[in-house]
Chains A and B, each alone.
Chain A
Amino acid sequence: MAATATTDAPVFDKKTWMGGVEPMKASYGKLMMWFFLISDTFTFSALLVTYGLIRFSYPAYDPAVHGEFHFSNLYWPIPEKVYEAVPFLHGMELPLVFVGIMTFILIFSSVTMVLAVEAGHRMDRAAVEKYMLWTILGGITFLGSQAWEWSHFIHGTDEGTVIREIVNGQWVERTIFGANLVENQYGPPAFADLFFFITGFHGTHVLSGVVLNILIFYRTSFGLYERRGHYEMVEKVGLYWHFVDLVWVFVFTFFYLV
């Protein structure tokens, strides 16, 4: 088969694997991307389930027991009390507004990615370039927002939280600001550890997605896929990009809403 293809038809036939048959009517690259995404699904599931496990092993906030809500390392915090800061609006309580904006940015960049895939099917190179640029812009904006959110989380609120701890056998009070891997003003230290690990792992995925998108944009604008005769590479990277969006949908629910 390969021998005849080189003589009369030099066009790459994406329906043919080297064996000549295409299982599941999907090209080799697409199928492997799906299987990679399944393994990544397990990684993220394990992280989010670990969050659930550790959260369930701590007391939940109960107004009858703990009184009015305040940050304390004795119980798991309510997410909307933790994530209520928005850039340029210092000191205002706007629960979940910024993370909502981030969610829309990522969903929108997913939409521009499908539009790029759709343009690829029509061999419309200019449209692929346009939508890839929008997708890259969305990804970079999301990363910037996340950097701001991390920075705020690390530096903490103006008031900080007073904690009591035993130092040399005596109870002492100390105010802590923000969170790091060993202490956390918003709740138990494990809460901050999981925040850094899970949103950081997702952010790393967004970063590699942006790098792949830039590569695809570069190769599209140099006409590589037009010469190749199809834009399947856009579809494969698109699968990865949508997956990153999908993971955010789950992180958003289980980290910020529940």
Chain B
Amino acid sequence: MADHSSHHHDHEHGVIAEPQTKGIWKTFIILSVLTAFEFLIAFTLNAGFLKTSIFVLMTIVKAFYIVGEFMHLKHETKSLIWAIILPCIFVVWLMLALLMEGGFIYIAK
């Protein structure tokens, strides 16, 4: 409530601070631009390794902004950040293992 302003309310706590929403809208614009860029890629590039890599990269960047800014994880303590991120390494392993397995099933069929 440090930011005093002309915005007075008949509120039991007295003055309500001005909203600080600049960062939120910035994150929204970044997410929107990335999604629009994904659409552009979807209709301009041919299917292939490059296209898939760009999509995966864009998705990870979007996830970073949603988790970091919207879910506020960037501003939590280091131990909490690592407690959330480290277990996700198992997902990477699961993905590699099962996608390779899928390739082998295809060969065996």
Contacts and interface: CB of A to CB of B under 8 A. Distances in A.
B32 A257 contact: no
Interface in B30-56: 31-32, 35, 38-39, 42-43, 47, 51-52, 55-56
Contacts of A238: 70-71
B77 interface: yes
Nearest to B96: A49
A46 interface: yes
B24 A118 contact: yes
Question: Which DSSP category, helix, strand, loop or mixed, fits chain A's interface?
Answer: helix
Interface of B: 1, 11-13, 16-17, 19-21, 24-25, 27-28, 31-32, 35, 38-39, 42-43, 47, 51-52, 55-56, 58-59, 62-63, 66-67, 69-71, 76-77, 79-80, 83-84, 87-88, 90-91, 94-95, 98-99, 101-103, 105-106, 109
A90 interface: no
Contacts of A243: 71
Contact of B102 (A53, A80, A122, A239): A53
A246 B28 CA distance: 13
A195 to B, nearest CB: 17
A46 B94 CA distance: 8
Contacts of B38: 253, 257
Interface residues of A, number: 54
Contact of B16 (A25, A45, A52, A122): A122
B102 A55 contact: yes
A166 to B, nearest CB: 18
A42 B102 contact: no
Interface stretch (A1-9, A99-107, A209-217): A99-107
Interface stretch (A12-20, A56-64, A144-152, A168-176): A56-64
Interface string A224-247: 001000000000001100110110
Nearest to A42: B91
B66 A52 contact: no
A62 to B, nearest CB: 10
A41 interface: yes
Contacts of B31: 107
A249 B79 contact: no
Contacts of B87: 38, 41-42
B59 A122 contact: no
Interface string A103-144: 110011011011100110011100100000000000000000
